[in-house]
Structure 1
């Protein structure tokens, strides 16, 4: 019997779900008024059988509820007293196979509706750095910096997803949570920041390493923690393993983003990013503990970056490229982001570097170096050794135009391989990217200089030039920006200009003279891979309006052949 008045009933929100047995709900709710109480109730044909509540009116609080019986269930709350950010459910027994089912988000945190988009995006909320990227229990797992309740950076959690091919992902429950005192209000004081994940060496599961930040904590704002998970779904209690920076090194308060890996001597190593009087630094730690759970000691500064004025090095990673880690002849690649750096010649900011050389377990000797991405929107790149191949992924954005004060739904880049060829570092898309090709749109018109129309925003373009370094311009029609990929006397570049906005930086790989160019378009992004990833450029496009068509401008015979595919995940 319903004894509510019509006015009261108008504020009731009810969500109908059909559940299997033993479903677990994750619900984030808060009270709409101070000194009030927010609540969400559960009912079925037999009536109301459960409720979760929160008295916090500042920030959404997580509540868990287990529904043991299956069948139709109604989840209800009164919008006059209760605000709800996210509701999803899953069954713990098979969530790795089935993922979560999202039944509610709000207008403030909903993911964009982009049918056919193939880049990884979170199911709700804000996302930045990839974390803990690796293969565990036979499948690739991706963790990422995440805030559930809005499209702006705030208290950091770790989101989580699993895949079988690095391209098609199942969303999993939020994996890592900040300390309780950081989650009671959305004040951006810190949270569970970036890190890495390794398999447990003494049983099934994973060990996670991450930075905890608390902005007003003294004397250290950033410390390093570790936690374990035996089920790959939830992390256990985190413990501090590095409570302070190394002394006497002239470091700023920056001390973050642990990357843990096996060194050539068989010991676990850890890289951390920081800043010193001499420039950005990468710190090296190691431990004799075979489980990597404790005993971490400071070895020294692995790298000091003096070329660019960076405020801190972020997200360093180091891994073998062309042989086993134990071989002295194996080259290693050291990747790191330069926070707030600026290339004065081009105006690009927040560069990511990739240095190739030798690592003996305690020092790195550089042989060659290059930028990881001339477009710079492949930031916080994290890679790992998947068998005998290197696979990495980055945040498809950077802090030059993403900041905590704007709504900014973003994506991850296409996953990329890394290998050496003729003394050059190549970062092509992984081979599985070809499985995205749904149908051919064109094989003749683009190379002839005609306009090729797209029926969605998800497209791949592949073309060969008659001679390496031939000049061309591929004009891409977008309603809100002038976009083109080109090769001119300076090199290979991406043009991105928005009417009424200040001029964009010059996204150019100077001296690049490719013969084959492969371009991936999606809603909100463009990725360019030239000569199997010898030169790579990634650019985020504001908004989600699709690129509508392409037209090649080049001398007669300059383009030997071109193919355009419509893509579908």
Structure 2
């Protein structure tokens, strides 16, 4: 590690656990979505629960607010909403041959049985991080291989395994290991991406150090871009005692119609993954532009499956106008389940229940008829909104958020098409990148003639959950004005709002 890196890392390690000294960016820094205290972040990494705390590691640049010098930042929480910022966990480093290694994405596990031998006898809470080292010279790629680091003090300090790498194919596109404990065969399983082949590779180990290849699967769904950030988990089916395996893949955003994450439902026998269907057409996790690299927490209590994603898009990620200090945020943690349908199993996502803690009702109404435009008596840019409506004779229904004079972010439902769209073309600052202004659309059929929405607004983040989490849309917005008006309109006929409830903090 050279002197400049050593100096910066020393400064970071000396900071208080309450976070960096910072100048708050009042316009766009979210209140209940995680952001780094300063500088750049992208993928969430090493999500793990241990000793009553959720650990969030994340791709982080200690030196600036654009991508580079990838290392792992670190924060912890007891409720998944309020995060305690900790010192830098895994900094990039120099290699003996003069190359450098950035710390790319990966996972973390609690080595309860000390299978690795890294910890003292009897210790059951040792943490092991499994990450991709991006080996390069002046950013020219050499290899991507899998490595270990370990911590015996609840993630406060870390040591790199002296015999790294533990898995190396001499490839430039081999990354993002997600490791979990497979109890039926008492072993560790790694899902890792062979990115350029659009395949997930599966390995097994009994000590986290020696890995044996088992199988590979892929080239289904969206193969237009490289595959990244795989995650294989077992998810409960609603209303049943059944569980199914779900494989998540992040696959870029090659054009407007391609969201960034897809999923496949099937079976895993400890060796190979077999999907339930051919998946010639992709199944997407989120239909907005700004949800990517989502992964789940290992070891979460009560077998909870909790997904966290990066709220951004590589097409404009380095340009978003969040101010000079910080850049990048994460979604609200989402609880996952599956729903059995005639077409197969459908992923259901819902904000974790902890989000309701501390909320207060700001406005509510029921059985309200809307024939043209209704100005909601609420102002704000931080809220949790629930809406159930019956379009009746209406052809189009619109919920306009964060309105200020000529600015608005519009949720639009087309009754004949039964599609829900999120329109940010007039949301405020859309000129910082030509690919930012957009309208995202997803088919959302009515249920018993009704549309149910939950909308989370947090200054610069909009997350939409439709029909109790069957479809989601996540987008960034950057309003230039601060009036925060909210209105509802119905065109072509009358709509009935069965329930409108707005909570704030």
| Fold-level similarity (TM above 0.5) | yes
1:466 aligns with 2:390: yes
Q: Distance in 2 between matches of 1:160 and 1:147?
A: 12
- 2:500 equivalent in structure 1: 562
Unmatched tracts of structure 2, length 5 or more = 115-122
Secondary structure, aligned partner of 2:357: helix
Secondary structure, aligned partner of 1:331: strand
Secondary structure, aligned partner of 2:43: strand
- 1:485 equivalent in structure 2: 411
What pairs up with 1:492-503 in 2 under 5 angstroms? 492-498=420-426
Q: Distance in 2 between matches of 1:546 and 1:379?
A: 28
TM-score, normalised on structure 1?
Answer: 0.72
What pairs up with 1:89-238 in 2 under 5 angstroms? 89-90=15-16, 99-103=17-21, 112-113=25-26, 117-180=31-94, 191-201=102-112, 202=114, 203=123, 204-216=125-137, 220-232=142-154, 233-238=156-161
Post-superposition shift, 1:285?
1.1
How far does the alpha carbon of each residue in 1:248-292 deviate from its partner, in whole angstroms, 9 at most, with x for none?
xxxx6211111001234332111111234xx411111111x2x32
Q: Distance in 1 between matches of 2:127 and 2:480?
A: 36
Post-superposition shift, 1:190?
5.4
Post-superposition shift, 1:510?
2.3
Count of matched residue positions in the alignment of Structure 1 and Structure 2: 456
1:353 aligns with 2:277: no
1:522 aligns with 2:461: no
Q: Distance in 2 between matches of 1:242 and 1:228?
A: 13
- Evaluate the alpha carbon distance shift between residue 405 and residue 270 of structure 1 in structure 2; reply closer, same or farther with a 3 A threshold: same
- 1:44 equivalent in structure 2: none
Residue in structure 2 matching 1:322, options 236, 254, 273:
236
- Evaluate the alpha carbon distance shift between residue 486 and residue 174 of structure 1 in structure 2; reply closer, same or farther with a 3 A threshold: same
How far does the alpha carbon of each residue in 1:199-226 deviate from its partner, in whole angstroms, 9 at most, with x for none?
0222222000001112339994211110
TM-score, normalised on structure 2?
Answer: 0.81
- Evaluate the alpha carbon distance shift between residue 410 and residue 55 of structure 1 in structure 2; reply closer, same or farther with a 3 A threshold: closer
Q: Distance in 2 between matches of 1:243 and 1:300?
A: 15
Residue in structure 1 matching 2:217, options 292, 302, 306:
302
Q: Is the 8 Å Cα contact of residues 256 and 272 (structure 1) preserved in structure 2?
A: yes
- 2:271 equivalent in structure 1: 362
- Evaluate the alpha carbon distance shift between residue 116 and residue 493 of structure 1 in structure 2; reply closer, same or farther with a 3 A threshold: closer
- Evaluate the alpha carbon distance shift between residue 547 and residue 476 of structure 1 in structure 2; reply closer, same or farther with a 3 A threshold: farther
1:333 aligns with 2:258: no
Residue in structure 2 matching 1:429, options 351, 354, 375:
351
What pairs up with 1:267-282 in 2 under 5 angstroms? 267-276=187-196, 279-282=197-200
1:420 aligns with 2:338: yes
Post-superposition shift, 1:400?
2.2
Post-superposition shift, 1:526?
0.3
- Evaluate the alpha carbon distance shift between residue 355 and residue 477 of structure 1 in structure 2; reply closer, same or farther with a 3 A threshold: same
Taking only aligned residues, the RMSD between alpha carbons, in angstroms, comes to 3.3
Q: Is the 8 Å Cα contact of residues 351 and 376 (structure 1) preserved in structure 2?
A: yes
Q: Is the 8 Å Cα contact of residues 367 and 497 (structure 2) preserved in structure 1?
A: no
Q: Distance in 1 between matches of 2:13 and 2:148?
A: 28
Q: Distance in 2 between matches of 1:151 and 1:445?
A: 47
- 2:177 equivalent in structure 1: 258
Q: Distance in 2 between matches of 1:533 and 1:190?
A: 40
Secondary structure, aligned partner of 2:424: strand
Post-superposition shift, 1:87?
8.6
Secondary structure, aligned partner of 2:305: strand
Unmatched tracts of structure 1, length 5 or more = 1-53, 66-85, 91-98, 247-251
Secondary structure, aligned partner of 1:450: strand
